[in-house]
Structure 1
Amino acid sequence: MDDHPVHQVAEPIRNVGTSDRNFYDRYYFNCHPRRSSHPCRSSEVETTPWFIFGLGVYPNLGVTDCFVVVRRGDDHIVVRGSRALGADRDDLRVGPFRTEVVEGLARLRISLEPGHGDVSFDLEFTADAPAALEPRHFQRQLERVTFDTQRFVQTGDWTGSITVDGTRYDVTPEEWRGNRDRSWGVRPVGEAEPPGRRAASSDDASFFWIYAVMRFDDFAVVSIVQEKRDGERVMDDARVIWADESRGVQWLGRVEHDVTFHPGGREPASATLRFIKPSGATTTVTAEPKLANYLGFGTGYGLEQDWRHGMWQGDEKVEALRLKVSEIDPTMKLFCPVDHLASFTLTDADGIVHTGEGLFEFAVIGPHDQYGFRDYVDVAPEM
């Protein structure tokens, strides 16, 4: 790439524009059955895999790593890999894992060879809508920039196969869809750093997060909310992305949320999102989470101290693990985002109703005034 006129700073492409150890460059994909072929009722959804794959490059840590996590019934199945980053940042192989950009912003292929755990796959993602940039994600704690990231999102269909416990699932565009994103920049990765003065800071460390990617017949809606304990917004965005690229991307308004929780935890039973424009025009979405994928467990998002994104594992390492969802410590679930396969009902500003499906990623970590959580281990009351 250094022979192409694409440089952004006075460095080779191999070197990023900051020496911050937390710089990362990441792919995320999910794959799930369409409602039309597998109606979103929990008993039917649980018989098919709810599949998530991620790959990250960490130039200043010298690491590339990846994971696949599948939720099927009560099974939480993970295969993960890590290797030393070579001179070519575009080499997206990690042991038996492969990621390939077949056609930029249109088609990508991901695969995992059999024999490295209870999951293997060979899948190609084909976009059904243009990639859309999301707002810049920036947050500072004291003088330290903790988040400075950019991301784009894209919906699409899948072709190929997934094998789980010896059962092969043929994946066709008529029956399987999902979304992907690409993000890069600075956010906490790898082993925790000494916090310095931040350990004594009274800055709000609470984290409330909604990231919803909703696919309807002719368009997708992406909504992002991050806020502090008192509701002050770090991010607030809702946009419609039309499958017809000529219609562009349109802002839907500021976001309001009303979440109902399952008793005894912080997992959403349902959620209502309202996108309100200054004119008062309101788009309303009801989300119904159907199946949770606890991607924080075993994949590197920070719950285990021996495997974190960007953590040095040696020149190459591949591991597999398996958990029962029913046996996961409920307290640990309070400390990571959860990706829910969900159905959505959208009523637009003209009163027209649309139904769809997709991702409802949710977390409320720490105190949160709106929902009555006073500390990190408070849960929704029993009925």
Structure 2
Amino acid sequence: MLSPMDDYPIHQVAEVIRHVETSDRNFYDRYYFNCHGPDADSPWLIIGLGVYPNLGVTDCFAVVRHRDEHIVVRASKALGADRTDLTVGPFTVEILDGLRRIRVALEDGHGDLSFDLEFVANGPAALEPRHFQRQMERVTFDTQRFVQTGLWSGRLAVDGARFDVEPGPWRGNRDRSWGVRPVGEPEPPGRRADASISGTFFWIYSVMEFSDHAIVVVVQETETGERVMDDARRVWHDPNREPEWLGHVSHEITFVPGTREAAEATLRFTRPSGAVTTVTCHPDLANFLAFGTGYGLEADWRHGMWQGDLKVSDLHLKVSELDPTMKLFCVTDHFTRFVRFDGDNEENGCGLFEFAAIGPHEQYGFTGYTDTAP
């Protein structure tokens, strides 16, 4: 199982690069990208590629929201020895210049979506706090991630319409994460099946881009509001400036009536000095990320699930016809406009507001899994 990477002095454990330190089946190594145009009428594209060393699988997906269209192309293959091989059927991820330039491509002829795009960073990659969570004896999350904003260029075709993607109007963010999180076929729950463990997943992940910096927010809460993750940082585009911690995060979410979808949100970051930064979030376009991409809604396609040596498939759905009950169990990535208030200073920005309110949550009055906002 040797690969060209084994010729470099980068080993971390007494194994070849193909094998990771832990034998946990849920170890993963993943890329995420989003790309949006100048307004809500532009396509809102999300791409992910994951490597699952202990499951022997690599898979990739692309999902685009354009008006009422929800289009997915996905592929899965057996993982070979060479972890640098970032092709999965018609998909390619190519590292052109580490932490600076990356190419992502999907060949024509695999559903109603194709692209050949280059991401060029406009700021440094910023490391986020480690994400750790244990349910009884089992570690369910132990992950590390970095995030980066940038500009896109290239070509994009969606449902017969072609877009010339140019840096400036077309921008987005990407992240890299790796570690342990639930992947692959469902596991027997064992003792946890008899335990009174809340399955609440309340999650805010936002990457807001302003003129000379980005603000990255990560919040995860239990049913009672206890924090698993709580971080907000200003990441300057100037790589010589250190990221700035903005303080404790509080949130006020306004929901679309009859759903758990965010209509608007206000986030406040309070530092020990009492200084407060406030950001209002105005979602323009929702990409219901979990439909068809492998995040767990469909039993026959999950990240890391064995699909055979190579399988490629596609979906084309109407957003207006997506199952509203399934949306209750869906992480949603919103293309969002932001307004930041620092004292008397005000600035507009745009970017990602990723949100999920799955399960009971006391602050917003959710008592079960299927009740919705009034």
TM over 0.5, shorter chain = yes
Q: 2:146: which partner in 1?
A: 152
CA shift digits 1:199-245 (9 cap, x unpaired): 11112221100000000000000001000000000000000000011
Deviation at 1:175, TM superposition (A): 1.5
Stretch of structure 1 that moved more, 195-204 or 272-281: 195-204
Q: 1:98: which partner in 2?
A: 92
Deviation at 1:253, TM superposition (A): 0.1
Aligned with residue 18 of structure 1, among 22, 42, 56: 22
1:277 aligns with 2:266: no
TM-score, normalised by the number of residues in structure 1? 0.96
After superposition, the CA RMSD in angstroms is 0.7
For residues 103-114 of structure 1, the aligned pairs below 5 Å read: 103-114=97-108
Q: 1:314: which partner in 2?
A: 308
1:33 aligns with 2:26: no
Q: 1:297: which partner in 2?
A: 291
Q: Distance in 2 between matches of 1:351 and 1:238?
A: 20
CA shift digits 1:136-179 (9 cap, x unpaired): 00000011000000000000000101001221100000210000
Q: In structure 2, give the amino acid aligned to 1:195.
A: P
Deviation at 1:246, TM superposition (A): 1.0
CA shift digits 1:360-380 (9 cap, x unpaired): 000000000000000000100
Deviation at 1:9, TM superposition (A): 1.2
Deviation at 1:300, TM superposition (A): 0.3
Task: Find the residue that maps to 2:240 and give its secondary structure.
Answer: helix
Task: Find the residue that maps to 1:332 and give its secondary structure.
Answer: helix
Q: 1:42: which partner in 2?
A: none
Deviation at 1:335, TM superposition (A): 0.3
Aligned with residue 135 of structure 2, among 130, 141, 146: 141
CA shift digits 1:108-155 (9 cap, x unpaired): 000011011100000000000000000000000011000000000000
Q: Distance in 2 between matches of 1:165 and 1:243?
A: 35
Q: Distance in 1 between matches of 2:128 and 2:189?
A: 29
Q: In structure 2, give the amino acid aligned to 1:224.
A: V
Q: In structure 1, give the amino acid aligned to 2:131.
A: H
Q: Distance in 2 between matches of 1:322 and 1:166?
A: 13
CA shift digits 1:44-89 (9 cap, x unpaired): x23x211000000000000000000010111100000000000101
1:236 aligns with 2:240: no
1:251 aligns with 2:245: yes
Q: 1:376: which partner in 2?
A: 369
CA shift digits 1:239-272 (9 cap, x unpaired): 0000011112110001000000010000011000
Task: Find the residue that maps to 2:193 and give its secondary structure.
Answer: helix
1:176 aligns with 2:180: no
Q: In structure 1, give the amino acid aligned to 2:287.
A: N
1:71 aligns with 2:65: yes
Aligned with residue 351 of structure 1, among 328, 340, 344: 344
List alignment gaps of at least 5 residues for structure 1. Answer: 39-44
Q: Distance in 2 between matches of 1:187 and 1:293?
A: 22
Stretch of structure 1 that moved more, 5-14 or 338-347: 5-14
Deviation at 1:351, TM superposition (A): 2.4
Aligned with residue 7 of structure 1, among 2, 11, 15: 11
Q: Distance in 2 between matches of 1:174 and 1:343?
A: 16
Q: In structure 2, give the amino acid aligned to 1:50.
A: W
Task: Find the residue that maps to 2:328 and give its secondary structure.
Answer: helix
1:201 aligns with 2:205: no
Q: In structure 2, give the amino acid aligned to 1:251.
A: W
Q: Distance in 2 between matches of 1:105 and 1:211?
A: 21
Q: Distance in 1 between matches of 2:164 and 2:237?
A: 25
Q: In structure 2, give the amino acid aligned to 1:366.
A: G
Q: In structure 2, give the amino acid aligned to 1:171.
A: V
Q: Distance in 1 between matches of 2:271 and 2:103?
A: 39
Aligned length: 370
Aligned with residue 356 of structure 2, among 353, 363, 368: 363
Q: In structure 2, give the amino acid aligned to 1:286.
A: T
Q: 1:41: which partner in 2?
A: none
Q: Distance in 2 between matches of 1:342 and 1:236?
A: 21
Q: 1:164: which partner in 2?
A: 158
List alignment gaps of at least 5 residues for structure 2. Answer: none
Runs of 4 or more, structure 1, over 4 Å off, are none
Q: Distance in 1 between matches of 2:8 and 2:253?
A: 48
1:58 aligns with 2:62: no
